[in-house]
């Protein structure tokens, strides 16, 4: 291949310099490059095809069958009909909707924290680090921690008892248990999300704030009319990841905190997929539910992309 | 931007500082509680759960490590996670470099499919993967779980590293080529050193994700002798919930590795999470 840098036309050198990025320009060695490139991608591609794409297709196949995992009997859309008309699934979906309360809560806290951190008060980097701590912990650790804190002899009940109140059974009532899990979600989630929002705030042109200050806009006015509108793209992103999270990532919390109970009162869609996959003889309906969950997530993501496009244009 | 913003007057800074401090305390307190309660006998804990220990002891950690399977779980986790991350990094480096700098046929399609499979939630995969692995007799075997961890991590890793390597100037690669370096030599002595920050970021993120993973670990390694730490902790927390000091020790042991990583590699973790936004 010819040496690229040996023939710069002095005047336009800066513009003509090959941009870093993109494949090399086509040449005599192109064929060899294609073969080497393909060979290098192949191992990763095979693993992903075999253990992600094939399983999804397999799940799709199972969802159209009655199956114990070994033999398959085609039943068409029966499993989907069963899932969509199952009152248990309806109830579980409603339970999942209750968990959505965590979304505005965690976003509210994150906005406050990010706006305060943005003021660069003393020690803001230290605070940022502390708030981020729960984010590296697993749902299992956070879940058991909160189960202990809200347990019958946990910290909360010790305080209640010390103040002369009745100890509260947080995990025998569905709604109270959900409230505890939501608290855990907010506690563990606000740090990362306020970092995201903070990076959005940092990218606002400071001149905008100065102009507004010159116009006599107070702090609150600036927050409402300048700061928040300027980070609406990040806000949209945070909103969507939270919604996705409530439908796909509560498994760990539910598994260690309530096991879906009492009854099915805290069972979420992702936990129900797990239960259906391993508790019943027929795997078909569970697979159908998993496929529906996947479709729902895909839909939300497409929606997210649409929303982002729109806000990028204006 | 300067370190202080001009948007607020000095007087307003104190309430903000105090609010942030209170919030930080609410994050720190559970950790403080875990540490103190894990270092005391159960009776001492029951006498005064909220106070400081009257008697300090390491017994909870020792019992947890030797008698409750946490030691075995810790070692199992370390083995599975490190192996999986290592294999994943090798495969992702190869693929990421090729996609960034080589004219791979169908590269747009390959990249697009990697990005779209990132969306697949593990709940969708768990049943078919369980059935597949049980056919190969790999359920209950470390290699099955390692394979699944490699596969589920690869889409993001390949995407992440191809973005990282794309910023390496082509001239550098041309120079290496003129010196007679082939694909592997260039990858090993030019590309990897230049992308080391990206690779380290990825390694830390993938380690954390796998260390904290529960669903696949519970289902693909059902035997107690092969249990990883996170599912072992879930089991201990379920069976011995009223043994607060013991469970606290388990929580700290499981959290110790991620917290240690955060302490030594926080800049990598923060960097990596920022990439999540731009995608």
Taking only the tens of pLDDT, chain A with its 314 residues reads 333 333 333 333 333 334 444 454 555 568 888 888 889 999 999 999 999 999 999 999 999 988 887 788 888 888 899 889 989 999 999 999 999 999 999 999 999 899 888 888 888 888 888 998 998 899 999 999 999 889 888 888 888 988 988 888 898 888 999 999 999 999 998 988 998 888 888 888 888 877 877 787 777 888 888 888 888 888 888 888 899 888 888 999 999 999 887 888 999 999 999 998 887 678 888 899 999 999 998 888 888 777 765 444 44
**B237 with A147: Cβ contact below 8 A:** yes
Is some CB atom of chain A closer than 8 A to the CB atom of B208? yes
CA B35 to chain centre: 22
Distance from CA of A221 to the nearest CA of B (A): 12
Mutation target for A interface from B124, B154, B256: give the one with most A CBs within 10 A: B124
**B27 with A37: Cβ contact below 8 A:** no
Pair A191, A133: CB distance under 8 Å: yes
pLDDT of amino acid B98: 92
A-chain residues within 8 Å CB-CB of B261? 136
User: Could you list the pLDDT tens digit for every one of the 279 residues in chain B?
Assistant: 333 444 566 667 788 888 889 999 999 998 998 899 899 888 888 888 777 888 888 888 988 898 888 899 999 999 999 999 999 999 999 999 999 988 888 888 998 889 888 888 888 999 999 999 998 898 989 999 999 999 999 999 999 999 999 988 888 888 888 888 888 888 888 888 888 888 998 999 999 999 999 999 999 998 888 999 999 999 888 888 788 889 999 999 999 999 999 888 887 877 766 655 443
Extract the tokens encoding A131: 């708030």
A260 and A118 in a common domain:
yes
CA angle (A242 as vertex; A237, A244 as ends), nearest 5: 95
Pair B230, B214: CB distance under 8 Å: yes
A209 and A250 in a common domain:
yes
Q: What is the ipTM of this complex?
A: 0.89
Question: How far apart are alpha carbons A102 and B47 in whole angstroms?
Answer: 35
Pair B219, A275: CB distance under 8 Å: no
Beta-carbon-side half-sphere exposure of residue A231 (alpha carbons within 13 Å): 28
Question: How far apart are alpha carbons A39 and A32 in whole angstroms?
Answer: 11
Residue A1 lies in a domain: no
First to last CA, chain B: 26
Q: Which residues contact A306 (CB under 8 A, 6 or more apart)?
A: none
How would you class B17 by CB atoms within 10 Å of its CB: exposed for 0-12, middle for 13-18, buried for 19 or more?
Answer: middle
Pick A119's closest partner by Cβ from B8, B107, B255.
B8
- Residue A224 has what DSSP assignment? I
Extract the tokens encoding B147: 């394979």
Q: Which residue in B10, B86, B26, B124 sits closest to A54, CA to CA?
A: B124
A258 and A124 in a common domain:
yes
**B99 with A237: Cβ contact below 8 A:** no
**Using one digit for the tens of pLDDT, what is the confidence trace for B152-193?**
999 999 999 999 999 888 888 888 888 888 888 888 888 888
Pair B224, B217: CB distance under 8 Å: no
Return the sign of the alpha-carbon dihedral for residues B214, B220, B223, B227: negative
Region label for A123, one of left (φ > 0), alpha (ψ between -120 and 50) or beta (otherwise): left
A224 and A201 in a common domain:
yes
pLDDT of amino acid B172: 87
Residue in this structure with the two tokens 């593990």, named with its chain if needed = B122
CA angle (B146 as vertex; B145, B152 as ends), nearest 5: 85
Is some CB atom of chain B closer than 8 A to the CB atom of A125? no
Range of the domain at A74: 26-86
pLDDT of amino acid A288: 93
Which residues 148-167 of chain B have a CB within 8 Å of chain A? Answer: 148, 150-152, 154-155, 158, 166-167
How would you class A197 by CB atoms within 10 Å of its CB: exposed for 0-12, middle for 13-18, buried for 19 or more?
Answer: buried
Mutation target for B interface from A19, A21, A40: give the one with most B CBs within 10 A: A40
Q: Which residue in B16, B70, B269 sits closest to A118, CA to CA?
A: B16
* E-only strand ranges, chain A: 65-67, 72-74
**A213 with B7: Cβ contact below 8 A:** yes
A175 and A255 in a common domain:
yes
The number of folded domains in chain A is 2
Residue A149 lies in a domain: no
What are the φ/ψ torsions at residue A8 (nearest 5 degrees)?
-80, 135
A212 and A176 in a common domain:
yes
Question: How far apart are alpha carbons A47 and B87 in whole angstroms?
Answer: 11
Distance from CA of A87 to the nearest CA of B (A): 21
The helix/strand/coil state of A67 is strand
C-alpha distances (whole Å) from A224 to each of A205, A221, A229, A280, B257 are 16, 5, 7, 52, 41
Residue A43 lies in a domain: yes
**B124 with A34: Cβ contact below 8 A:** no
Find the CATH number of the domain harbouring A256: 1.10.3720.10
**A297 with B119: Cβ contact below 8 A:** yes
> What are the domain boundaries of chain B?
73-278
pLDDT of amino acid B72: 92
Pair B65, B71: CB distance under 8 Å: yes
A207 and A69 in a common domain:
no
A257 and A193 in a common domain:
yes
A128 and A49 in a common domain:
no
A174 and A288 in a common domain:
yes
Extract the tokens encoding B173: 């690669």
Is some CB atom of chain B closer than 8 A to the CB atom of A129? yes
By CA distance, what is B207's nearest residue in A? A136
Is some CB atom of chain B closer than 8 A to the CB atom of A53? yes
Q: Which residue in B121, B27, B62 sits closest to B250, CA to CA?
A: B62
A203 and A82 in a common domain:
no
Question: How far apart are alpha carbons A120 and B276 in whole angstroms?
Answer: 24
Mutation target for B interface from A136, A209, A247, A277: give the one with most B CBs within 10 A: A136
The helix/strand/coil state of B82 is helix
pLDDT of amino acid B88: 96
pLDDT of amino acid B277: 47
**B125 with A213: Cβ contact below 8 A:** no
Question: How far apart are alpha carbons A244 and B137 in whole angstroms?
Answer: 34
Pair A249, A274: CB distance under 8 Å: no
Question: How far apart are alpha carbons B279 and B268 in whole angstroms?
Answer: 17
A199 and A75 in a common domain:
no
pLDDT of amino acid B278: 44
Question: How far apart are alpha carbons A172 and A159 in whole angstroms?
Answer: 20
Report domain B73-278's class: mainly alpha
């Amino acid at each position: 291949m010819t040496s690229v840098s040996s023939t710069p036309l002095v005047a336009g050198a800066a513009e003509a310099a090959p941009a870093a990025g993109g494949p090399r320009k086509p040449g005599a060695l192109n064929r060899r490059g294609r073969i080497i490139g393909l060979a290098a991608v192949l191992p990763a591609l095979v693993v992903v095809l075999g253990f992600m794409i094939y399983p999804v297709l397999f799940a799709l196949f199972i969802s159209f069958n009655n199956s114990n995992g070994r033999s398959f009997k085609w039943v068409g859309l029966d499993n989907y009909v069963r899932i969509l008309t199952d009152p248990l699934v309806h109830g579980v979906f409603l339970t999942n909707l209750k968990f959505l309360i965590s979304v505005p809560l965690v976003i509210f806290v994150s906005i406050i924290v990010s706006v305060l951190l943005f003021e660069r008060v003393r020690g803001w980097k230290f605070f940022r680090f502390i708030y981020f701590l729960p984010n590296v912990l697993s749902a299992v650790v956070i879940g058991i921690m909160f189960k202990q804190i809200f347990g019958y002899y946990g910290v909360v009940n010790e305080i209640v008892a010390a103040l002369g109140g009745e100890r509260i059974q947080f995990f025998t009532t569905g709604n109270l248990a959900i409230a505890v899990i939501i608290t855990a979600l907010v506690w563990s989630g606000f740090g990362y999300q306020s970092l995201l929002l903070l990076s959005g705030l940092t990218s606002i042109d400071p001149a905008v704030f100065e102009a507004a200050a010159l116009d006599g806009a107070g702090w609150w006015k600036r927050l409402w009319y300048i700061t928040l509108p300027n980070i609406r793209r990040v806000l949209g992103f945070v909103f969507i990841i939270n919604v996705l999270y409530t439908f796909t990532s509560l498994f760990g919390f539910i598994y260690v905190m309530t096991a879906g109970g009492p009854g099915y009162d805290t069972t979420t869609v992702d936990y129900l997929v797990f239960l259906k996959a391993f508790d019943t003889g027929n795997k078909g309906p569970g697979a159908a539910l998993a496929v529906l969950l996947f479709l729902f997530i895909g839909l939300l993501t497409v929606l997210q992309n649409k929303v982002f496009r729109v806000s990028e244009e204006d | 931007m300067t370190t202080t913003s001009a948007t607020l007057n000095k007087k307003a800074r104190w309430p903000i500082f105090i609010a942030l401090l209170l919030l930080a305390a609410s994050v720190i307190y559970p950790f403080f509680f875990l540490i103190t309660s894990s270092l005391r006998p159960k009776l001492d804990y029951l006498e005064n759960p909220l106070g400081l220990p009257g008697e300090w002891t390491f017994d909870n950690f020792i019992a947890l490590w030797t008698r409750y399977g946490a030691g075995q779980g810790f070692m199992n986790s370390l083995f599975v996670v490190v192996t999986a991350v290592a294999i994943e990094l090798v495969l992702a480096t190869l693929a990421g470099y090729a996609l960034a700098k080589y004219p791979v046929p169908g590269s747009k399609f390959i990249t697009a499919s990697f990005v779209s499979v990132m969306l697949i939630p593990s709940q969708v995969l768990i049943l078919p993967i369980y059935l597949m692995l049980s056919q190969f007799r790999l359920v209950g075997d470390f290699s099955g779980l390692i394979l699944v961890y490699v596969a589920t991590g690869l889409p993001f890793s390949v995407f992440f590293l191809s973005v990282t390597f794309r910023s390496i100037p082509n001239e550098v690669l041309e120079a290496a080529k003129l010196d007679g370096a082939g694909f592997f030599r260039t990858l090993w002595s030019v590309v990897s050193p230049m992308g080391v920050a990206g690779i380290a970021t990825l390694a830390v993120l993938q380690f954390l994700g796998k260390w904290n993973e529960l669903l696949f670990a519970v289902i693909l390694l059902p035997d107690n002798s092969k249990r990883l730490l996170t599912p072992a902790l879930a089991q201990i927390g379920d069976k011995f919930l009223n043994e607060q000091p013991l469970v606290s020790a388990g929580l700290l042991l499981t959290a110790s590795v991620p917290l240690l990583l955060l302490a030594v590699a926080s800049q990598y973790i923060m960097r990596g999470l920022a990439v999540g936004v731009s995608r």
